Chains A and B, each alone.
Chain A
Amino acid sequence: MNGSKRASLTLEIVLILAALLFLLPVLYLVVMTFKEPRLFYKPLAMPDRLYLDYYKLALGTSFFRSMFNSLLVTVGGLALTILVASMAGFVLARRREKLFLFFFYLFMSGMVIPTVGSLIPLFKLASLLHLINTRTLLILLYTAGFIPFASFLYSAFTKSIPRELEEAGSIDGCGSLRMFWVIIFPLLLPATGTFILTNVYGIWNDFLTPLIFLNSPDKMTLMPTIVQFMFNKQSTNYGPVFAISVLAMLPLLLLFVLTQKRMLRGLVMGSVKG
Chain B
Amino acid sequence: MSGEDDDATNAAADGGTDHPADSPIAEHARPAGGDAPETGLAGPTPEERPHPSGRRDEHGVRKEPDDGGEATRRATVSALVEDEPGVLARAAGLFRRRQFNIESLTVGPTTVEGHSRITLVVEETEAGIDQAKKQLAKLTPVIAVGELSDDAVAAELVLLKVRGHEPDKVHAITSMYDGETLDAGPRTITVQITGDENLIDDAIDAFDQFGIIEIARTGQTALERGDSPTTPGEEPGHSAGSTDDDEFTNYDD
Say whether A and B bind each other: no
Interface of A toward B, CB cutoff 8 Å: none
